[in-house]
Amino acid sequence: MSLVVYSLAMGLGVLGNAVVIWVTGFKMKKSVNTVWFLNLAVADFLFTAFLPLTITYTAMDFHWPFGKFMCKLNSTVGALNIFASVYILVVISVDRYVSVVWPIWAQNHRSVRKASGVSLGVWVLALILSTPTFVFRGTGPSFQDANITHCFNHFGLPDDYQTLSVVELRLFRHQAMTITRFILGFVIPFTVILSCYAVIIHRLRRNRTLASQSKRTFKIIATIIGTFFLCWAPFHIMALIELASFSAVYQSLTLVFVITVGFPIATGLAFLNSCLNPLLYVFVGQDFKDRVCKSILTVLETVFQEEETNSESYIKSDESSHSRNKSPADTEL
């Protein structure tokens, strides 16, 4: 099942994200929104492009034939995808929040150059957060068969599972990596995302004109974020369950069974997320008839350009609303 899911994610992910990169990077006029979606597609494309290594590893009964460096690099790209994707979604959410709450300020300060700078900052942050994966990942022989090489987290420690101090340090580093990834790669980003959209929904309810204009664009972004949550939440939950299993004094057979069965399913869901975004741009952005009649290029251009039109419409609507309801306090602020 894992091989089928990984192969599906690789095929659809490489092709779909390549199309998004081609359209947003070379076929469309640069805008803040195309910068966001371009970076999200690049993160997913890099991850799916490395999936053949994981597919081969799984097909060879978890024998890693590609060497220590590729083991580190492959795992680091996976971690990079986790952090880059979620923080790009955070940036998109904050950008939507600013555009709705402070439309005049957003019109004057949002630019492609600043969006590119923010995107670069996201990649630097994601790379920093992925560094422990590169340091603590490595290769080693299997306990059952010396001819089989595993790619695993050795946490920068020797293969010593008897010395108490080494075992405790390994467990501490395992806890630190898992909890840091859970908090910085899931809890904090989604708290920010949900907070932004809570405010946006509140403002949309107060402005019916804006709600009708932004409905489709909001639907696309909300679906992408919801899909990311559904795909990655099980992975982080299983990682915490695995950590609890390692930390327990006595191994529970039920817990071991849950990890053995659940982790491949959770990992497959996480991998599928990287191929779903390009499909969401098409299937959420247009109705079924348009999807059948239009080419992929036309559909994607419609989805991305639509955001700019909605932003301009809202700014005009907000300006007229302000002019009707302006008070001395508003003027001073």
pLDDT computed for residue 69 by the predictor = 96
| pLDDT band of 201, cuts 50, 70, 90 | confident
281 pLDDT band, cuts 50/70/90, is low
Summarize the confidence of residues 11-23 as an average pLDDT: 88
pLDDT 10s digits, 207-218: 666 555 556 666
% of the chain exceeding 90 in pLDDT: 44
pTM for the full model?
Answer: 0.82
Place of tokens 């979606």: 37
Element (H, E) at 149: strand 149-153
d(CA 323, CA 325): 6
- Least trusted range by pLDDT, from 22-26, 85-89, 161-165, 202-206: 202-206
pLDDT at 333: 29
Percent of the chain residues topping a pLDDT of 70: 79
Rounded-to-integer distance, Cα 184 and Cα 189, Å: 7
Residue 28 in tokens: 């469309």
Higher pLDDT, residue 299 or 160:
160
CA distance 168 to 163: 9
pLDDT level of residue 146 (50, 70, 90 thresholds)? confident
3-state secondary structure of 151: strand
Rounded to an integer, the average pLDDT of 72-100 is 92
**DSSP conformational letter for 249:** S
How confident is the model at residue 325, as a pLDDT? 46
pLDDT of residue 288: 35
More confident residue, 115 or 282: 115
Output the average pLDDT for the chain: 82
**Average pLDDT score over residue span 165-191:** 92
Phi, psi of 198 (to 5 degrees): -65, -45
Q: Does 164 or 287 have the greater pLDDT score? A: 164
* Domains of the chain, start order: 2-319 (1.20.1070.10)
CA-closest candidate to residue 209, choices 125, 305, 317: 317
Check whether 265 has a pLDDT greater than 60. yes
